[in-house]
Each structure stands twice: as structure tokens, then as C-alpha cells.
Amino acid sequence: MAMVFIVWALMAFLAVGLEDSKALAITGSTVGINYGQLGDNLPDPTKVAELLEALKITKVKLYDSNPSILKAFANSEVEIVVGISNGNVAGLIDTQTALSWVTQNLQPYLSGTKVTGLSVGNEVYTGDDAALKANLVPAMRSIHTALVSLGLDSTIKISTAHSLSVLASSYPPSAGAFDPNIMQLLKEHLDFLGVTGAPFWINAYPFFAYKDNAGKISLDYALFKPNTGMDDPNTHLHYDNMLYAMVDAVYTALDAMGYGNLEVRISETGWPSKGDPDEIGASIENAAAYNRNLLQRLLKNQGTPLKPNAALLAYIFALFNENQKIGPTSERNYGLFQPDESKVYSIGLEGGLSATASFSAYTSSAQRRYNGAVLSMALQLLFSGLCSLCLVLPLLHL
């Protein structure tokens, strides 16, 4: 009887440990953060790495290949998407130049740093630079050729981040359709993603939609707060927040072009804590509500109404307020943190971006040590029990 109890206890402990591991994996797989560097007062990258470790954020998107940052995240669990600016795209069309870029800017750091993606250009197809639009996919192909030659193509996926303006129609979600003026360019891009297995990245900001249509759009709907939502008249799917409706409009547009199997990921989303007088809705209260409610959804491994079984991955914009960004006041106030690492506001999510993040990281480490000790004790008890049973069983046959 004692042996049965020991075996049962060990199995129960292992099951709990596996469930805890699964929960941690889910957390790490759905939440990322954009780490911009347009500030003259930002902390050293090593301190940023420590901050993200305490916050349990394991996915980071950069806007360049800063070697100091890549070194700072060496030997960590953080998966990094490296950015390539619009100004560098044209030069990477040449395959030898692309190979040189990879060997100089990526390869030296890959033994310790987990680079999982490359974001080539940003919102290219909704800009005015015709040459940049034409050069984007050829540059991506050349970089991919370089990754293949170095045996890195299976671990590093290449894509580009799109503005939601690539859609000519987004409401209702079932009417999602790409702008016909960029259709041919998009088809080449989507063909590349389909062949290489990379995701389709979208920068999606309910803030902009609300700011421009505050009289027509419910703030609660934009902030994931309780609201009546909307029903898509064609699919009869119910939407209780704007971001998921945006994502499903993209899925609909992709499906209409024959690429419905591509994964849509949110490369940027966020809400500013401060803005100019005409930037309606920009406030600390709204920024905290948006990011807190979004993170609660993401940490549940939740999908959208159209893709309920496909967990949505989103990169929050941004880690820090950046004082050198140009444009309206909001551009310098998307950060969750000030450059001195103090919180702009509290997310209040246990185990995530919250005031208790550092304590949570400590207690999780302590819990792992405790679990290891208990597991060791259980194994010792099991071994002792088996040895005792081996001694007793021969006597039972006498």
C-alpha cells in the first residue's frame, strides 16, 4: 500500500510540474515587446536584458542589428527579431552583399543569442517610395539565400511589418480586402512567405482608429473593456474588441488571395500615455487599460473569432518612451517604462508586466528549487520502496 501511495504521489507531482511548464511556455509564446532605441537617455542594453528577464518577456523585436543589444541577450531565453531599416533594403538586393550583411551582423552572435526573425523594412507598401516597394521582395530573397547557404533558414524567418493601410476594406472583418494598387507587389511577398514558412506581420493600432472616429467608435470596444461589441453580418461572428476585428480582416484578405494558411502576427500594437490636444484618447488611464486587457487575452493563449484555435502573438509597442522620435507627442509616449526603468503606469498582471514582476520572478525561481528538492525526495522514497519490495518478495514465496 505504501508503494502505491509513493508511486501515485510521484506521478501527481510530475503532472503538476508539467502543467506549470506548459503555462510558462504559453506565456512566453504569445507576448513580445518592441525595443526601440530612439532616445539619448535609454539604459544600457545589459540592464534592459535584466529588466525583461524579471518581466518574463521572452520575445523582443528590434529595429536594427545593434551589436551591443545582441551581446546583452546572449545566453538568455529571449528570442529576437532583428530589424533592417528601409534605407538599407536596396543595398541587400545583391546576393553577395546580403551574405556579407548576415555574416557580419548576425552570424557572430548566433552561438549565444537566439535570433528567430528578420524584419526587412517597415510599412513599405503604404509609403510613397516606388523603388523601395520594388526592391523589398528581391532583398528578402537575397537574404534568404544567404541564410540557406549558412544553414540558418530553418531558424530565422524573414518577413516585413505592414501598416493596416494595406487593406482597402476592413469593416466588417469578413469584408477585409487588400488595396488593389499594391496587389501584385503583395502577391510576390505572400508567395515568398508561403515558400519560406514565415508569418504575415501587421502593425495594428486601435488608437488611431478611435482618435479619427471618436464619435463613432466606442472607447470600451477599442480598449477591450466590457461592451456590446459587434456581430459580423456575413459570418455571424461576435467581436468584443477592435484589435481582433482588425486581425480577422487581414485573415479574410489573405484568404481571398489564396493565402489563408499564413499566420498573422501583430508586429506592433499599443496605446500612448500622452498626446497633443487633438490626439483624442491618449492618456495614462487608457494606455494602461489597453495594454493590461490585451495582455490578459494573450496570456490565455487566445485566438480571434475567425481563428479561435490559432493563438495570437503580439509585440507590444513599446518598452520605453523614446525622446528622439519625431512627430506628434504620442510618438514619444508609447513606452511601458521611462528611460530610468520606472513604470509609466502599472499593468497589474501577475507574472507579466506588473509591479510584482521582480518578486514574481524571484518566487518562480524559489518554487523551481523547491520543486526540485521535492522531486529528489520523491525519487529517493521510490527507490527505497522498490529496494524494500525486492527484499520482501522472495520471502513471500518461502
Q: Which of 50, 53, 79, 123 is catalytic?
A: 123
Residues 6+ apart with CB under 8 A from 218: 227
Joined grid coordinates for residue 100: 556579407
Residue 361 CA to residue 51 CA, distance in Å, equals 11
268 is annotated as an active-site residue:
yes
Strands 167-169 and 157-163: unpaired
Say what the alpha-carbon torsion angle 53, 66, 295, 288 is, to the nearest 10 degrees.
Answer: 100
- Residues pairing with 163 in the sheet: 203
Task: Classify residue 188 as left (phi > 0), alpha (psi -120 to 50) or beta.
Answer: alpha
Task: Say how far apart CA 172 and CA 237 lie, in whole Å.
Answer: 10
Burial (CB count <10 Å: 0-12, 13-18, 19+), residue 329 = middle
Q: What CA–CA distance (Å, rounded) separates 349 from 299?
A: 10
Q: Which of 268, 331, 341, 350 is catalytic?
A: 268
d(CA 251, CA 385): 57
Return the bridge partners of 82, or none.
Answer: 118
Cα gap 310→141, rounded to integer Å: 27
Task: Report residue 375 CA to chain centroid gap.
Answer: 33
- Farthest CA pair distance, the chain: 93
Say if residues 228 and 163 touch (Cβ distance below 8 Å): no
Peptide bond into 361 cis (omega under 30): no
What residue spans of the chain are helical by DSSP H? 2-30, 45-55, 67-72, 95-105, 130-149, 183-196, 206-212, 219-222, 242-256, 284-298, 357-396
Residue numbers annotated as active site:
123, 268
